[in-house]
Amino acid sequence: MNKSEIKKLIISSLNADADTVEVSGKLEKEGISYNFSKNFSDRVLNKLFSAVLTVNREVEFVKYMNFAFYRIALTGVAAIIVLLISIFLREGSFSFNSFLGLSDNYDESIVCLLTGNM
């Protein structure tokens, strides 16, 4: 029996109506046997479960990173809100000048303050 016939025989054994005893008998007559080592099933199961653990670790990592991001983002939003409230209480409005910390100063006095010349 050549390789293509063996391949066809193995593929035909996958059909639901195929007689697996007959197919395995034909393969054994040709000298093909499927004898696995003692620990074969254990090794296959260990490989499968280790892959599942790897996927679970990746999912847990993403979950914890999202959790950390949301905690940091919410803290940042809270800090911005506190800053806006403090500016509003100090200046009485939310204008551009109040964000910069400028009050009713003239441009000349700002230049003097920045350069140190009085």
**Which pLDDT score, from 0 to 100, does residue 112 have?**
66
**Which pLDDT score, from 0 to 100, does residue 39 have?**
86
Residue numbers of the chain with a pLDDT score lower than 50: none
User: Nearest to residue 1, comparing CAs of 23, 34, 16?
Assistant: 23
The tens digit of pLDDT for each residue in 78-90 reads 998 888 888 777 7
**Which pLDDT score, from 0 to 100, does residue 118 have?**
58
Return the C-alpha torsion angle 74, 79, 80, 85, nearest 10.
Answer: 130
pTM: 0.35
**Which pLDDT score, from 0 to 100, does residue 74 have?**
92
